[in-house]
Amino acid sequence: MTVVSISGDGSDMSKPNEEIVALLEGILERAKSGDICGVGVIALHNDSASSYWIKGLIGTYGLLGVCDMVKSEIMEVLQS
């Protein structure tokens, strides 16, 4: 299956996305250093299923604001 990314590129969902791998590795390093103390992660899987994970300290309204920003950006992509 091919999906159009936020930047407009077509992507083969069955192959690892190096940009995602690099992003997650950077986030992992920040978590290991103590800079990140809580996360909410959403993911699209190669079978088009979606999932989420929540771990750590997540009880801030700022985090809810960021969730709204992510939702808005995804909605813009879906509506274009």
Q: What is the pLDDT of residues 56-75, one digit of tens each?
A: 998 889 999 999 999 999 99
Residue 5 is classified by DSSP as -
pTM of the entire structure? 0.75
**pLDDT average, residue stretch 29-56:** 95
The CA–CA distances, whole Å, from 53 to 9, 27, 50, 63 equal 26, 15, 11, 14
Range of the domain at 24: 2-79
Q: What's phi and psi for 49, nearest 5 deg?
A: -75, 155
Number of compact structural domains in the chain: 1
